[in-house]
Amino acid sequence: ALERYLAEQALACFSATTLALALFPLANLPAGAPLLGMLAAVATAALAAAIVGPRLGIALHWSLSAVFSMLGGHLLMALGFAAMIAALAGTISAADAASYMVMFLAAGVAGLLVVFVPAGIGVREAVLAGLLAPGFGVAPAIAIALAARVWLLACEAAAFGLWWLATRRRPIRSPDAPAADGRR
């Protein structure tokens, strides 16, 4: 169970940082170099864990479908966050949207890395508010960071609901199995 948890956390870190790194050239971030270095270091460490872990007998490998699913989920959540900012601020440029997506993803990774804080509560919001504060001011940045937590919880609830519906199939009854009333 611990190996599966570590594999999932490493995949989440790899997915979010890789997507943020892909968006980085389009973004206009005030703290560019340190943030870029942190994202690259986390992506490299997560990928290294997935490669080296199985060689050491630790099941940290990822299936290709899991990688693409995680990337898709992170992309949709980050796009939703950028859309929320656009709704609050009015029209935003593509560079601003990319910046907000990178900020959201970087804050999420910070929350994942602080393993002693359940679900990164407080850490994710503090990092996001710190990244948003230069453009919005401190109080609005905190409010946006809290709204981002609500957005994240809504996304997770929707994902769970979809999973629950998709796995709630009725079992296929064998033609040889007796019916519920005992008849064949």
Residue 57 host element (H or E): none
85-to-69, 90, 104, 132 alpha-carbon distances in Å: 24, 8, 11, 10
Report the interhelical angle of 2-23 vs 32-55 (nearest 10°): 140
Contacts for 19 with CB less than 8 Å, ≥ 6 apart: 71, 74, 75, 78, 101, 105
**Which pLDDT belongs to residue 76?**
93
Q: What pLDDT is recorded for position 57? A: 80
Do 19 and 108 meet the contact criterion of CB atoms below 8 Å apart?
no
Which residues of the chain are modeled with pLDDT < 70?
Answer: 30-31, 170-184
pLDDT of residue 173: 65
Distance, in Å, from the CA atom of 182 to the CA atom of 178, rounded to the nearest integer, reads 5
What is d(CA 51, CA 80) in angstroms, rounded to the nearest whole number? 32
Q: Which residues contact 140 (CB under 8 A, 6 or more apart)?
A: 132
Q: Which amino acid is at 164?
A: W
Q: Give pLDDT, residue 1.
A: 74
> 119: phi > 0 → left, psi -120 to 50 → alpha, else beta; which?
left
31 membership: H or E segment, kind and range: none
| pLDDT score of 184 | 54
Q: At a CB cut-off of 8 Å and minimum separation 6, what does 54 contact?
A: 60, 61
